[in-house]
């Protein structure tokens, strides 16, 4: 699939990232969303020289959804500060195998990186390298042995939502690193960044972009996804 520009102005560029495409160049040497976005800006605005594009957050390669780039250094600095201060609101959708024991809650974990396996593992709070990960979640729908979940990360740890889904006993479809039985096509997992809300770096007004997931795995939940209200955070517990 090809990325899609969701919104653009002088400071912001929101793009819908397909699953399987890295956000930024990596050791694979494959084309990245960052490179695609720079090429798009150069063509769209007829920029003859180098195009500035600031990376303020990322999605894992197998994850799809909304990605925000900064088009100016001022925007990049201010947006990065918002992400560090956890002043942005992000909602994700996931499809897990099975059904959790409750309908909503708050997952609080301490996670450590396993560099060899390229994943994170739950750990004790005082374990070397452990970092706190907090995720609000709720069940949106259950279809057969699959559950549509909504996640709101309150921290920004690597693989945080993937580990949270596994801890609920509902590993994300295709996520074999975290308990899925079989992989999905296109290196994807059933995790999608549905919406991202930030404060505009120069105007100060709230900006929110939403992007619905596509693909066969999401079709049974299409109506449920359309009813998700992205304007509100998930209720606390």
Arithmetic mean of pLDDT, 137-153: 97
Residue 236 included in any domain: no
Residue 237, in any domain of the structure: no
Checking if the pLDDT of 236 tops 70, the result is no
151 part of a folded domain: yes
In a domain? residue 121 = yes
Give the pLDDT confidence score for residue 23 in this predicted structure.
Answer: 97
Percentage of residues in the chain with pLDDT exceeding 90?
Answer: 90
Query: pLDDT tens for residues 46-97?
Result: 988 889 999 999 999 999 999 999 999 999 999 999 999 999 999 999 999 9
Residues 6+ apart with CB under 8 A from 68: 12, 13, 14, 15, 56, 57, 79, 196, 198, 209
Domain-embedded: residue 210: yes
Note the pLDDT tens digit of each residue in 1-15. Answer: 799 999 999 999 999
Q: What is the DSSP letter of 161?
A: H
The reply to whether 234 falls in a domain is: no
Instruction: Write out the residue range of the structural domain in which residue 161 sits.
Output: 4-225
In a domain, 125, yes or no: yes
What's the pLDDT at 83? 97
Largest CA distance in the chain: 56
Is the confidence at residue 237, as pLDDT, over 60? no
Q: What number is the average pLDDT over the span 183-192?
A: 91
Please state, in angstroms and rounded to a whole number, the distance separating the CA atoms of residues 78 and 68. 13
pLDDT digits (tens, 9 = 90+) for 10-53: 999 999 999 999 999 998 889 999 999 999 999 999 988 889 99
Check which CATH number belongs to the domain holding 123 and give it.
3.30.2350.10
Q: Identify the CA nearest to 141 among candidates 49, 234, 59, 222.
A: 222
Indicate the average pLDDT of the chain: 95
The residue with tokens 């729908």 is 141
Cβ proximity of 28 and 43 under 8 Å:
no
111: left (phi over 0), alpha (psi -120 to 50) or beta: beta
pTM: 0.95
Domain membership of residue 235 (yes or no) is no
Taking the C-alpha atoms of residue 98 and residue 100, their distance in angstroms, rounded to an integer, is: 7
Structure confidence at residue 55 (pLDDT): 98
Q: Which residues are catalytic?
A: 60
Give the pLDDT of residue 105.
97
Query: Domains in the chain: how many in total?
Result: 1
- CA 224 – CA 143 distance, rounded (Å): 11
Residue range 188-207: mean pLDDT, rounded: 97
Q: How far is it, in rounded angstroms, from Cα 190 to Cα 65?
A: 11
Q: Which residues contact 57 (CB under 8 A, 6 or more apart)?
A: 67, 68, 83, 156
Q: Do 167 and 120 touch, CB atoms closer than 8 A?
A: no
DSSP category for residue 3 = -
Q: What is the DSSP letter of 190?
A: S
């Amino acid at each position: 699939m090809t990325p899609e520009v969701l919104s653009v102005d002088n400071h912001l560029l929101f793009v819908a990232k397909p699953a399987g495409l890295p956000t930024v160049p990596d050791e694979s040497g494959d084309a990245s969303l960052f490179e695609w976005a720079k090429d798009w800006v150069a063509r769209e605005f007829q920029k003859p020289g180098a195009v500035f594009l600031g990376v303020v957050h990322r999605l894992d390669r197998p994850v799809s959804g909304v990605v925000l780039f900064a088009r100016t250094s001022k925007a990049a600095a201010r947006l990065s500060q918002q992400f560090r201060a956890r002043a942005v609101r992000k909602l994700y959708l996931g499809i897990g195998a099975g059904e959790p024991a409750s309908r909503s809650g708050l997952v609080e974990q301490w996670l450590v990186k396993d560099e060899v396996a390229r994943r994170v593992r739950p750990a004790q709070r005082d374990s070397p390298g452990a970092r706190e990960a907090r995720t609000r979640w709720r069940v949106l729908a259950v279809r057969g042995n699959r559950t549509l979940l909504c996640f709101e990360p309150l921290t920004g740890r690597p693989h945080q939502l993937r580990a949270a889904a596994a801890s609920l006993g509902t590993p994300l479809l295709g996520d074999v690193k975290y308990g899925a039985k079989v992989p999905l096509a296109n290196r994807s997992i059933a995790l999608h960044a549905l919406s991202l809300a930030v404060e505009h770096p120069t105007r100060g007004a709230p900006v929110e972009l939403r992007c619905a997931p596509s693909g066969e795995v999401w079709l049974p939940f299409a109506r449920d996804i359309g009813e998700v209200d992205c304007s509100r955070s998930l209720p606390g517990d």
